[in-house]
Amino acid sequence: MNVDEIRAKLVAERNELAERVRKIEARIQRSEKPLEQDFAEQAVEQENDEVLDALDQVGRKELESIEAAIKRIDEGTYGSCVQCGGEVSAERLKVIPYADKCRKCAS
């Protein structure tokens, strides 16, 4: 896979993930449905909100990683470890296309 294909894949992944994060945020903010009146239901909804908040944080972190990878592609540094400057293996990038560290520095 060439760099243009990787970039296109990352952009598509970024767009999909951004939409998921947007939906999670809307659900947390209760923009579509207010909190239930029943206290037991409120407790369940608040527990669900904690899970959604954690998913939101994970999604935002992944979005940042994808954005950084797209920037590295645009700057011509994609595939170089941000820590040691060595090469990030093609196998690693195939599994995690936004990986920014070689296997050694990542461990």
CA 82 to chain centre: 18
pLDDT tens-digit series, residues 40-87: 776 777 778 888 899 999 999 999 999 999 999 999 999 999 999 999
pLDDT digits (tens, 9 = 90+) for 5-22: 999 999 999 999 999 999
pTM (predicted TM-score):
0.79
Domain boundaries defined on the chain: 3-79
Q: Return the higher-pLDDT residue of 35 and 12.
A: 12
Structure tokens at 18: 């951004």
